[in-house]
Structure 1
Amino acid sequence: MFRTFTRVGTRAGAASLALFAPAVALAQDAVPAAADAVVATVDKGDTAWMMVATVLVMAMIVPGLALFYGGLVRTKNMLSVLTQIIAVASLAMIIWVTYGYTMAFGDGGNAFISGFGKAFLSGVTADSTVATFTDGVEIPEYVFIAFQMTFAAITVSLVVGGLVERLKFSALMIFAAVWLTIVYFPVAHMVWAGNGLLFNWEPAALDFAGGTVVHINAGVSALVGAMLLGPRLGYKKDVMAPHSLVMTLIGTGLLWVGWFGFNAGSALEANGSAGLALINTFVATASGVLFWMLTERALGHKGSLLGACSGAIAGLVAVTPAAGNAGPFGAIVLGAAAAVICALFVVSVKPRLKLDDSLDAFGIHGIGGIVGSIGTAFTYAQIAGDDYDLGAQLLTQVIAVAIVIVWAAAGSFIAFTIARLATGLRVSEEVEREGLDLGEHGERAYNY
Structure 2
Amino acid sequence: MNNTTFAIPPNLEPDQASPAWMSKGDNAWQLTAATLVGLQSVPGLIILYGGAVKKKWAVNSAFMALYAFACVLVCWVLWGYRMSFGDELLVPFLGTPNFALDENFLFKKAFSGNFPNATMVYFQFVIAAITLILIAGALLGRMNFYAWMLFVPLWLTSSYTIGAFTIWSNNGFLYKLGIIDYSGGFVIHLSSGVAGFTAAYWVGPRLSKDRERFPPNNILLMLTGAGFLWMGWTGFNGGDPYSVNVDASLAVLNTHVCTATSLLAWVMLDVYFFGKASIIGTIQGMITVLVCITPAAGRMGSNNNGVCSGSIPWFTMRIIHKKSKLLQMVDDTMAVLHTHAIAGCLGGILTGLFAEPKLNNLMSIEDMEIGDGATHNEEAYAIWGQGEKLGKLRHEAAIYNDIESSVTRGRAIGQVEMT
Q: Do they superpose with TM above 0.5?
A: yes
Which residue identity lines up with residue 44 of structure 1 in the other structure?
K
Instruction: Give the TM-score, by structure 1 length.
Output: 0.77
Aligned to 2:22: 42
SS at match of 1:111: strand
CA–CA distance in structure 1, aligned partners of residues 99 and 112 of structure 2: 22
Q: CA RMSD in A?
A: 2.1
SS at match of 1:113: strand
Q: In the alignment, is residue 224 of structure 1 matched against residue 198 of structure 2? A: yes
Aligned to 1:156: 132
Aligned to 2:364: 428
CA–CA distance in structure 1, aligned partners of residues 20 and 167 of structure 2: 25
SS at match of 2:331: coil
- Residue 337 of structure 1, aligned match among 302, 308, 319: 308
Report the alpha carbon displacement of residue 90 of structure 1 after superposing the two structures with TM. 0.8
CA deviation vs aligned residue, 1:90-126 (integer Å, no higher than 9, x gap):
101100000001101123444212223x425335455
Q: In the alignment, is residue 358 of structure 1 matched against residue 338 of structure 2? A: no
Which residue identity lines up with residue 93 of structure 2 in the other structure?
F
CA–CA distance in structure 1, aligned partners of residues 193 and 45 of structure 2: 14
CA spacing shift, 1:431–1:198, aligned 2, 3 Å: same
Aligned to 1:71: 51
SS at match of 1:279: helix
Please list, as runs of the form range in 1=range in 2, the aligned pairs for 1:140-151 lying within 5 A after superposition.
Answer: 140-151=116-127
SS at match of 1:199: helix
Question: Does the 8 A contact of 2:52 with 2:218 survive in 1?
Answer: yes
Q: In the alignment, is residue 114 of structure 1 matched against residue 49 of structure 2? A: no
CA–CA distance in structure 1, aligned partners of residues 316 and 223 of structure 2: 22
Which residue identity lines up with residue 208 of structure 1 in the other structure?
Y
CA deviation vs aligned residue, 1:47-90 (integer Å, no higher than 9, x gap):
00001011101100011111222221111111111110000111
Question: Does the 8 A contact of 2:288 with 2:338 survive in 1?
Answer: no
Report the alpha carbon displacement of residue 354 of structure 1 after superposing the two structures with TM. 2.4
Which residue identity lines up with residue 363 of structure 1 in the other structure?
H
CA–CA distance in structure 1, aligned partners of residues 104 and 182 of structure 2: 26
- Residue 342 of structure 2, aligned match among 367, 381, 395: 367
Question: Does the 8 A contact of 1:102 with 1:121 survive in 2?
Answer: no
Question: Does the 8 A contact of 1:124 with 1:142 survive in 2?
Answer: no
Q: In the alignment, is residue 439 of structure 1 matched against residue 374 of structure 2? A: yes
CA spacing shift, 1:272–1:221, aligned 2, 3 Å: same
CA–CA distance in structure 2, aligned partners of residues 131 and 190 of structure 1: 15
Please list, as runs of the form range in 1=range in 2, the aligned pairs for 1:22-101 lying within 5 A after superposition.
Answer: 41-101=21-81
CA–CA distance in structure 1, aligned partners of residues 39 and 179 of structure 2: 28
Please list, as runs of the form range in 1=range in 2, the aligned pairs for 1:287-306 lying within 5 A after superposition.
Answer: 287-306=261-280
Report the alpha carbon displacement of residue 236 of structure 1 after superposing the two structures with TM. 7.3
CA–CA distance in structure 1, aligned partners of residues 159 and 119 of structure 2: 24
Aligned to 2:408: none
Which residue identity lines up with residue 112 of structure 1 in the other structure?
F
SS at match of 1:112: strand
Please list, as runs of the form range in 1=range in 2, the aligned pairs for 1:245-394 lying within 5 A after superposition.
Answer: 245-327=219-301, 331-352=302-323, 353-380=328-355, 383-384=356-357
Question: Does the 8 A contact of 2:237 with 2:252 survive in 1?
Answer: yes
Which residue identity lines up with residue 353 of structure 2 in the other structure?
F
Which residue identity lines up with residue 430 of structure 1 in the other structure?
E
Which residue identity lines up with residue 191 of structure 2 in the other structure?
N
Report the alpha carbon displacement of residue 40 of structure 1 after superposing the two structures with TM. 5.9
Report the alpha carbon displacement of residue 227 of structure 1 after superposing the two structures with TM. 1.1
Aligned to 2:83: 103
Which residue identity lines up with residue 446 of structure 1 in the other structure?
Y
CA–CA distance in structure 2, aligned partners of residues 173 and 88 of structure 1: 8
Aligned to 2:145: 169
- The alignment-based identity, stated in percent, is 33
SS at match of 2:61: helix
Instruction: Give the TM-score, by structure 2 length.
Output: 0.82
**Aligned residues between the structures:** 363
> 291-300 or 91-100, which moves further after superposition?
291-300
Mark the structure with the bigger radius of gyration: 2
CA spacing shift, 1:77–1:46, aligned 2, 3 Å: same
Aligned to 2:389: none
CA–CA distance in structure 1, aligned partners of residues 38 and 223 of structure 2: 18
> 349-358 or 214-223, which moves further after superposition?
349-358
Structure 1 alignment gaps of length 5 or more: 1-25, 30-38, 386-403, 405-419
Q: In the alignment, is residue 194 of structure 1 matched against residue 199 of structure 2? A: no
SS at match of 1:42: coil
Which residue identity lines up with residue 309 of structure 2 in the other structure?
A
Report the alpha carbon displacement of residue 362 of structure 1 after superposing the two structures with TM. 1.3
> 206-215 or 335-344, which moves further after superposition?
335-344
Q: In the alignment, is residue 210 of structure 1 matched against residue 210 of structure 2? A: no
CA–CA distance in structure 2, aligned partners of residues 447 and 158 of structure 1: 28
Please list, as runs of the form range in 1=range in 2, the aligned pairs for 1:127-138 lying within 5 A after superposition.
Answer: 127-132=107-112, 138=114
Which residue identity lines up with residue 74 of structure 2 in the other structure?
I
CA–CA distance in structure 1, aligned partners of residues 255 and 366 of structure 2: 44
CA–CA distance in structure 2, aligned partners of residues 124 and 373 of structure 1: 37
Which residue identity lines up with residue 348 of structure 1 in the other structure?
I
Question: Does the 8 A contact of 2:87 with 2:171 survive in 1?
Answer: no
Structure 2 alignment gaps of length 5 or more: 1-8, 13-18, 384-419
CA–CA distance in structure 1, aligned partners of residues 202 and 39 of structure 2: 31
Report the alpha carbon displacement of residue 281 of structure 1 after superposing the two structures with TM. 0.9
Aligned to 1:14: none
